[in-house]
Amino acid sequence: MEEGDTHSAANTITCKAAVVYGPGQPLVIQDVLVDPPKKMEVRIRILYTSICHTDLGAWLGTNEAQRAYPRILGHEASGVVESVGEGVTELKAGDHAVPIFNGECGSCDYCKSDKTNLCEKYRVNPLKSVMVNDGKCRFRSKEGGKPIFHFLNTSTFSEYTVLDSACVVKIDPTAPLRQMALLSCCIATGVGAVCNTAKVQPGSTVAVFGLGAVGLAVVEGARSRGASKIIGVDVNPDKLTKGQTMGVTHFVNPKELEKPVHEVIREMTGGGVEYSFECAGNLDVVREAFLSTHDGWGLTVVLGVHATPAMLPLHPMELFDGRRIVGSVFGDFKGKSQLPRLAQDCMRGVSEH
Residue 5: predicted pLDDT: 38
Rounded Cα distance between 156 and 339, Å, is 18
The percentage of residues in the chain with a pLDDT greater than 70, rounded to a whole number, is 93
Amino acid of residue 312: L
Q: Give the start-end residues of each E strand in 113-174.
A: 139-141, 147-148, 160-164, 168-170
Q: Which residue has the higher pLDDT, 351 or 336?
A: 336
Distance between CA atoms of 46 and 17, rounded to whole angstroms?
Answer: 11
Asked if 121 and 81 touch (Cβ cutoff 8 Å), the reply is: no
Stretch 82-100: mean pLDDT, rounded? Answer: 97
- Contacts of 338 by beta carbon, 8 Å cutoff, 6+ apart: none
In this prediction, residue 341 has a pLDDT band, given cuts at 50, 70 and 90, of very high
**Average pLDDT in the 77-90 region?**
97
CA distance linking residue 245 with residue 236, whole number of Å: 16
**Residues across the chain:** 353
Count CB atoms within 10 A of the CB of residue 110: 18
pTM of the model: 0.92
- Local confidence band at 10 (pLDDT 50, 70, 90 cut-offs): low
Q: Are 154 and 102 in contact (CB under 8 A)?
A: no
Question: Which is higher by pLDDT, 68 or 320?
Answer: 320
**Tens digit of each residue's pLDDT (9 = 90 or more) over 176-224:** 999 999 999 999 999 999 999 999 999 999 999 999 999 999 999 999 9
Which ranges of the chain would DSSP assign to H, the alpha helix? 53-60, 109-112, 177-180, 186-192, 213-224, 239-246, 261-269, 283-291, 335-347
Question: Is 29 a residue whose pLDDT tops 80?
Answer: yes
User: Residues 35-82: pLDDT tens digits?
Assistant: 999 999 999 999 999 988 777 766 656 554 456 899 999 999 999 999
Give the tens place of pLDDT for each residue, 140-165: 999 999 999 999 999 999 999 999 99
Q: How many CB atoms lie within 10 A of CB 146?
A: 12
Choose among 264, 259, 223, 242: nearest CA to 349.
Answer: 223
**201 exposed, middle or buried (CB, 10 Å; 0-12, 13-18, 19+)?**
exposed
- Identify the three-state secondary structure at position 239: helix
The pLDDT score that the predictor gives to residue 305 is: 87
| Strand duo 229-233 + 205-209: pairing | parallel
Long-range CB contacts for residues 113-118, cutoff 8 Å, separation at least 24: 116/332, 117/196, 117/329, 117/330, 117/332, 117/333, 117/334, 117/335, 118/329
Confidence band of 24 (pLDDT split at 50, 70, 90):
confident
Contact 15, 5 (CB under 8 A): no
| pLDDT recorded at residue 49 | 97
CA–CA dist 225, 202 (Å, integer): 6
What's the pLDDT at 340? 95
User: What SS3 class is residue 191?
Assistant: helix
Q: What is the pLDDT of residue 148?
A: 98
Q: Is the peptide bond before 26 cis (omega within 30 degrees of 0)?
A: no
Going by pLDDT thresholds of 50, 70 and 90, the confidence category of residue 2 is: very low
Q: Which residues lie closer than 8 Å to 157 by C-beta, 6 or more apart?
A: 17, 18, 27, 49, 55, 72, 73, 74
Long-range Cβ contacts of 230-239 (<8 Å, 24+ apart): 230/206, 231/205, 231/206, 231/207, 231/265, 231/268, 231/269, 231/273, 232/207, 232/208, 233/207, 233/208, 233/209, 233/261, 233/265, 233/288, 234/209, 234/210, 236/211, 239/211
Find, among 79, 89, 94, the residue nearest to 6 by Cα.
94
Q: When comparing pLDDT for 244 and 23, which is higher?
A: 244
Q: Give mean pLDDT, residues 162-175.
A: 97
pLDDT category at 310 given cuts 50, 70, 90 is confident
277: part of which helix (H) or strand (E)? strand 275-278
Identify the three-state secondary structure at position 212: coil
Supply the pLDDT for residue 351: 53
What pLDDT is recorded for position 1? 37
Beta bridge partners of 327: 302
